[in-house]
A and B are shown apart, each in its own frame.
Chain A
Amino acid sequence: MIARDRISKLASNLVLLAIGILFVLPLLWVLFASINRTAGLRVEFPTDPTLGNFKAVLNTDTTYRPVLNGVVLCGGAALLTMVCAVLAAYPLSRFKTRFNRPFLLTVLFCTGLPITAVMVPVYGLFVQLNLVDTIGGTIMFMATSALPFAIWLTKTFMDGVPISLEEAAWVDGAGNMRALWAIVLPLMWPGIAVVLIFTFIGMWGNFFVPFMLLLSPERLPASVSIFTFFGQYGEPNYGQLAAYSLIYTTPVLLLYLLLSKKLGGAFALGGAIKG
């Protein structure tokens, strides 16, 4: 019995290790290639490491402007999403009306719609409204596409805040918005941070929306500019591509670490998502 247990433990460790190695190999490529003078397509340890690739891409056109654009776009959109989601979640979480259930079902239904499919008509709408190639329009659309899930998640967190404190505030004559601002929000900062970071990470990696709605090179965020720099003409410089990918990925990696800290380990997010 004991021996069998040992063998099954060993087997599951070995299988896990094999899967882990398959997952880590492409990630290793980007790490090694970024400091390799003559980076190719395979994982190889650089014999003569250099920071030249980073120096080559750290300039306004390649890195600084696209990253800043990404911060403005995704930061603005994530904040707009958050404000709307908190405002919407409050009545949904606190008051029972006939309107709640159909609205929540609609929200849940919208989380399932493929945003990709909406992009052609959205482009048409943007042409009509003169919003193509505007940062503001793109922010509003990005915020809207993230809203259904954010409302859902925010309401889930808000339901966890007991209502008794607010009831006391209402008795004292505080309005709903005051109660939300002074009592509910301070009690759910971790939840707010989770929704905000999760929304931002999703937007930071999104390629299709800015690719469709923005045209001018000086407005493109990092997710699109990486494609236009390295994907357009033949054989790219792999070392520079890897270095740039690392720079572009770093913010979301840091945010993810923050997120898993807030949630007490990476695995709590699954519970949040299951809703």
Chain B
Amino acid sequence: MTTTVAPTTAAPAQPSGRPRAANFLRMLPLSPAIGLMLVFLAGPIIYCLYAAFTNMALTGTGAADVKFVGLENFRKAFGSGAFTNAIWLTLVFTLISAIIGQNTLGLGLALLMRKSNRIIRNFVGTSVIGAWVLPEVVAAYLLSAFFNDEGTLNVMLHAVGLPGQDWLYAAPIIAVSLANIWRGTAFSMLVYSAALSEIPKEIEESAEMDGAGGWRRLLFVTLPMITRAIMTNLMLITLQTLSVFGLIYAMTRGGPGTKSQTLPLYMYEQAFSFSQIGYGTAIALVMLAIGAVFSLIYLRGLNSEAA
């Protein structure tokens, strides 16, 4: 399993000029997958495009008669402090936990592991991957305990003479971001380890012979060689982090107040706690749009690399 360049692969030379019917028959095995994806992925997205412009609700007027309200939901969203707060928190959460945290820490771990002692390497690898394999809610509980007023973090802080506090109340968005770093770093570490293992040894060795020091070697030799992995990884973890729900919900419920209410939690609250399906889908549409933009950038990056 080395890198296969996306998405052009060597398909066998088939005799061309077959009749259409034969072509159609050959493509038939795709139908179960296409059927499922049409009903359960494309269907909901199209439904989103409709419901987001209505006053649909589970209770009240929007339940009895569904009316088109045009851009009302979006106007309401962008004019509401809670929505702006959710967007803001989502950006903070994504920036701290994915782009800075998981990505940098994953890269750092992968780099350090190349010249470390084997026992330490295995110990770190196992604990980081262990955190990743844990089910979402279990991870949330473990870290709630860790950040709690009586938790392990404060025990450590007290030990070195620093004051502790209940981090989930004092700095909830920081606590859930750190939790997401703890839970997700393994992915970046694996991607970067794989990428680094493919750099030919001679290249780095010759840079060393030429007298390039550690940092310069990293900046001008190693990192440029794994640009593709960096872009791919950043894209994937950004998209994953945008839709984190369970971890935050189980740790803080988006609270205290709305201090850790990222976009997915805000959407859930509006659609189900307050029954505003129309408004909830409008928020979902905003999330999908953000995801789609990132997804397209990611595809472009892959394509330009593959070309």
Contacts and interface: CB of A to CB of B under 8 A. Distances in A.
Interface of A: 8-9, 12-13, 15-17, 19-20, 22-27, 29-30, 33, 40-43, 83-85, 87-88, 90-97, 99-101, 103-105, 108-110, 112-125, 140-141, 143-145, 147-148, 151, 155-157, 159-160, 163, 167, 176-177, 180, 201, 204-208, 211, 222-224, 226-227, 230-231, 238, 241, 245, 248-249, 252-253, 256, 263, 266-275
A74 B140 CA distance: 21
A272 B3 CA distance: 7
Contacts of A12: 112, 115-116
B23 A113 contact: no
Given A108-B6, A120-B271, A253-B133, A91 B30 contact: yes
Contacts of B56: 124
A271 to B, nearest CB: 4
Q: Which 3 A-B pairs have the closest CB atoms?
A: A270-B194, A112-B295, A114-B243
B143 interface: yes
| Binding site secondary structure of chain B | helix
B142 A41 contact: no
B191 A140 contact: no
A203 to B, nearest CB: 10
A120 B280 contact: yes
Nearest to A275: B6
A112 B235 contact: yes
B284 interface: yes
Contacts of A117: 243, 264, 267, 284-285, 287-288, 291
B304 interface: no
A180 B277 CA distance: 45
B20 to A, nearest CB: 11
18 contacts: A15-B112, A25-B152, A26-B143, A27-B131, A40-B150, A91-B26, A109-B296, A112-B239, A114-B288, A116-B245, A120-B280, A122-B44, A156-B1, A159-B10, A176-B29, A207-B136, A227-B137, A267-B197
B99 to A, nearest CB: 16
A273 B191 contact: yes
Contacts of A144: 36-37, 39-41
Nearest to B286: A117
Interface residues on B, range: 35 or more
Given A91-B26, A114-B291, A118-B284, A24 B195 contact: no
Given A114-B290, A205-B134, A270-B194, 19 more contacts: A12-B116, A20-B123, A26-B146, A26-B182, A29-B145, A43-B155, A88-B29, A88-B30, A88-B34, A91-B26, A96-B14, A109-B292, A120-B271, A121-B51, A144-B39, A211-B246, A223-B246, A227-B137, A263-B1
B131 A110 contact: no
Identify whether the interface residues of A are mostly helix, strand, loop, or mixed: helix
Contact of B30 (A103, A110, A272): A103
Contact of A248 (B135, B229, B249, B299): B135
Nearest to B279: A120
Most chain B C-beta atoms within 10 Å of own C-beta, residue among A144, A145, A227: A144
B246 A249 contact: no
Contacts of A268: 1, 194
B13 to A, nearest CB: 8
A96 B115 contact: no
Contacts of A33: 145
A97 B11 CA distance: 10
Contact of B243 (A115, A231, A252): A115
B81 interface: no
A110 to B, nearest CB: 6
B219 interface: no
Interface in B89-122: 105, 109, 112-113, 115-117, 120-121
Contact of A238 (B10, B29, B121, B145): B145
A151 B50 CA distance: 29
